């Protein structure tokens, strides 16, 4: 099968059962995306599929053969610098997923997408808004308190 990851085309010979997460980690050596739960419940495996954030653990690689995929290894975004500046992590396990998710989320905000907090989507990005929009990413270390200002700062750039 053919996967386009971070702008590079790869020809892989893998079983159809392979999830996108396993293809990235086990076959392409891109170990940034993490396997937390493997069931869509934690967000550690978040990558960008055609620019949209998704859980790579619930996606079959074979179904995404011509879709551009961006992993944390291919991200260059203010969110990364702000996470570092604000200590938006402790162990770092959830961090690649948090950052990919935040990048996708800020794009959703810029397109005016609503959330369960702001129904018109036009509110400035309040902390409540960031928490709701980032609820698909859990952090076992509970480093949320520093992630929220990191994302707020990145959003302002």
Partner 1 sequence: MKTFTYRTATDVSGGLEPGAAFLAGGTNLVDLMKLGVATPDALVDVTRLGLDEVTELPEGGLRIGAGVRNSDLAAHPLVRRDYPVLSQALLAGASGQLRNMATTGGNLLQRTRCRYFMDAAKPCNKHAPGSGCPAREGDHRNLAILGASEHCVATHPSDMAVALVALDAVVNTSERSIPLRELHRLPGDDPARDTVLRHGELITSVDVPPLGLPSAYRKVRDRASYAFAVASVAAAARVADGRVIDVRLAFGAVAHKPWRALIAEEALRGKPATKESFLAAADAELAAAEPLRDNAFKLPLIRNVVAAVLEGLTS
Please report, as ranges, the residues that interact with ligand FAD according to CB under 6 A.
40-41
* Residue 148, Cβ density class (10 Å: 0-12 exposed, 13-18 middle, ≥19 buried): buried
Closer residue to ligand FES, CB minimum distance, 21 or 125 = 21
Residue 113 binding: pick among ligand FAD, partner 1, ligand FES, none (C-beta 5-8 Å cut-off by kind): partner 1
Residue 91 binding: pick among ligand FES, ligand FAD, partner 1, none (C-beta 5-8 Å cut-off by kind): ligand FES
Binding mask 19-58 for partner 1 (x = CB under 8 A): x------------------xxx--x--x--x--xxxx--x
Positions touching ligand FES (CB under 6 A) are: 35-38, 40-45, 55, 57, 89-95, 139-141, 143
C-alpha span between 72 and 88 (Å, rounded)? 16
Minimum distance from residue 64 beta carbon to partner 1 (Å):
10
Closer residue to ligand FES, CB minimum distance, 87 or 156 = 87
Length of the chain: 157
Name the site residues for partner 1 (rule: CB under 8 A).
Answer: 15-17, 19, 38-40, 43, 46, 49, 52-55, 58-60, 62-63, 101, 104-105, 108, 111-116, 119, 121, 131-137
């Amino acid at each position: 099968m053919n996967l386009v990851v971070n702008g590079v085309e790869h020809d892989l010979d893998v079983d159809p059962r392979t999830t996108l997460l396993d293809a990235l980690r086990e076959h392409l050596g891109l170990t940034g995306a993490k396997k937390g739960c493997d069931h869509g419940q934690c967000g550690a495996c978040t990558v960008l599929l055609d620019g949209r954030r998704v859980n790579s653990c619930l996606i079959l690689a074979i179904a995404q053969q011509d879709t551009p995929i961006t992993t944390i290894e291919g991200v260059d975004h203010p969110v990364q610098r702000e996470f570092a500046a604000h200590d938006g992590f402790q162990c770092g396990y959830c961090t690649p997923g948090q950052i990919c998710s935040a990048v996708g989320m800020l794009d959703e905000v810029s397109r005016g997408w609503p959330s369960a907090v702001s129904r018109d989507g036009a509110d400035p990005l309040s902390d409540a808004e960031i928490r709701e929009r980032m609820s698909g990413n859990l952090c076992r270390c509970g480093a949320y308190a520093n992630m929220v200002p990191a994302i707020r700062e990145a959003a302002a750039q």
